[in-house]
Structure 1
Amino acid sequence: MKKTILIMLMLLAIATGMAAQGERGYLGISLGPSIPIGEFAEQDPDNESAGFADLGAMVDLSLVYRIGKGQYGVTAMVRSQLNPVDEEALFSDVLQEPGISFDTEGGRWGMRTALLGAFGSVAFSDKISFHARVMAGIVGVSSPNVEATVTGPAGTFIVEQSSENASAFGRLYGGGFTFNLGNKIALITNLDYFTATPEFSNVEVSINDIPFSTNQSLSQKVVTVNFSVGLGLKF
């Protein structure tokens, strides 16, 4: 969290400096839904690559700087993204057993992203332009902490998978539209494809009241399609 705040302050400082130089660009904040796809959204408990991710949400702060008077430039972004886990799908094998009931708590994938890249834009008029961007950078991913209280003929016990953190290389491909609302404000829309493959170690799975606990390593391919709407402060 502290790193994210620091990066946001750095972007604000850069934007202030470029504004003094009279350059063209904007500092924008956007939010919207995060839609998992592929293995990340897979909900088959027999598939070891399944991520069980559901529809989530994301918010990002982006800096866009157009080089010279052309239609190309550089861009930077920090993003926070959350995707909850479909716990019923995760424990669907258990639900099929007769006489078994369970209750679950929590469980979500968390991502904190810092990306740099390039963009190009095409103006349709003084008010509307289209932009495309390609970005890459570092992603910090936290795996879901999942806890289930299982009740059956043998009694009640708690199964828990711990949350672990991992870093990975992330890529983003996207585009969108910018609508000028005035001299200083623009409406920004974006649709992007984001992917990363973090590798987690020492993920602990334990069963309370039963002498069973194991540490395992896992790799999860994360792929999401994100749509966002926001406002940009032009400089």
Structure 2
Amino acid sequence: MKKIILTVLAAGMTTVSFCQKSFILSHQDKRGFFAVSAGGSLPVGQFASSSPDEKGAGMARRGVAFSLAGGVRLVGPVGLMVRAEQHRNSVQAQSLLVDGFSNGTVDAGNWSTTTFMGGPYVHLPIGRFSINTRLMAGQAQATMPTTSLTAPATETGTSVETSGSKSTALALGGGLAVQYRLGRCISLQLAGDYTQSRFTFSGLTSTTWTNTGRAQSSYFTGDRTVGAVSATAGIVILFGDCYRPF
């Protein structure tokens, strides 16, 4: 009987010790992280404008955003991080149907913008929660979509196709992420980020076909300011103990 009691007590003490250790390690501060997120992309400013009379209007709709990020704290709560993000936004096609194309058809591709940025971030732990704020700079690449307009035969009987183009530019941005610690090395994350770049798309071609079959082409350069806010959710992998008591 005495041996049984001692065995039960030993098992209980081991369980308590294991629970205490798990609790401490689940709150242990980490130096670095990797994060994978996905969510929505909200175009802002000229990028979201649907006015065909506004020079530089991007006519972008809400879309999707994906991001990969990693960072390491260097001094106290301050560290450096890198982040890659892609936005895909469709075009407000109906806004293109003007000047003889009001009853026509339109076919348009998608805006695609990819950014690679780095910069400082600040990590603020609050129990199981933590807040990360960051300022970023880097490079962006954007693809302007091809658009095609066709007027019905009862109107002008004209078709116009404007080619797409790719361009690179300086990218600036910043954001904030709220993380909730699930265990020793995993957190859930909700994040909001803003990025902006000004692109110059060269070599754009606009080709017009009339009902007689003749085609006329013109070449031009277009400037577009692409600004978007992403709201994403994802998983964070934590690594590197700041201090480990075990």
TM tier, shorter chain? 0.7 to 0.9
CA distance in 2, matches of 1:174, 1:58: 14
Q: Is the Cα–Cα contact under 8 Å of residues 174 and 191 in structure 1 kept in the other structure?
A: yes
Alignment of 1:47-196 (within 5 A): 47-68=54-75, 70-96=76-102, 101-125=103-127, 127-153=128-154, 156-196=157-197
Shift of 1:147: 1.4
CA distance in 1, matches of 2:178, 2:57: 34
Q: Are 1:202 and 2:203 counterparts?
A: yes
Letter in 2 for 1:105: D
Q: Is the Cα–Cα contact under 8 Å of residues 87 and 107 in structure 1 kept in the other structure?
A: no
2:152 aligns to what SS in structure 1?
strand
* 1:61-118 superposed Cα distances (whole Å, 9 cap, x missing partner): 10121115x111011011111111101012244454xxxx222223221111111111
Letter in 1 for 2:190: T
Shift of 1:189: 1.3
Higher Rg: 2
CA distance in 1, matches of 2:101, 2:165: 26
Shift of 1:154: 5.5
CA 1:157 to 1:94, structure 2 compared with 1: closer, same or farther past 3 Å?
closer
1:55 aligns to what SS in structure 2?
strand
Equivalent pairs, count: 208
User: Which residue pairs with 1:17 in the alignment?
Assistant: none
Q: Moved runs in structure 1, 4+ residues, more than 3 A?
A: 92-96, 154-157
Q: Is the Cα–Cα contact under 8 Å of residues 37 and 223 in structure 1 kept in the other structure?
A: yes
**Gapped regions of structure 1 (runs ≥ 5):** 1-22
Letter in 1 for 2:223: S
**Gapped regions of structure 2 (runs ≥ 5):** 1-29, 240-246
Q: Are 1:219 and 2:223 counterparts?
A: yes
CA distance in 1, matches of 2:45, 2:200: 17
> Which range moves more in the overlay, 50-59 or 144-153?
144-153
CA distance in 2, matches of 1:93, 1:158: 12
Normalised by the length of structure 2, the TM-score is 0.80
CA distance in 2, matches of 1:45, 1:155: 19
1:183 aligns to what SS in structure 2?
coil
Q: Are 1:30 and 2:34 counterparts?
A: no
Q: Is the Cα–Cα contact under 8 Å of residues 45 and 93 in structure 1 kept in the other structure?
A: no
Normalised by the length of structure 1, the TM-score is 0.83
2:94 aligns to what SS in structure 1?
helix
2:51 aligns to what SS in structure 1?
coil
Two-structure CA RMSD over aligned residues (Å): 1.8
* 1:14-73 superposed Cα distances (whole Å, 9 cap, x missing partner): xxxxxxxxx7211111011110111111111111121101101110110121115x1110
1:151 aligns to what SS in structure 2?
coil
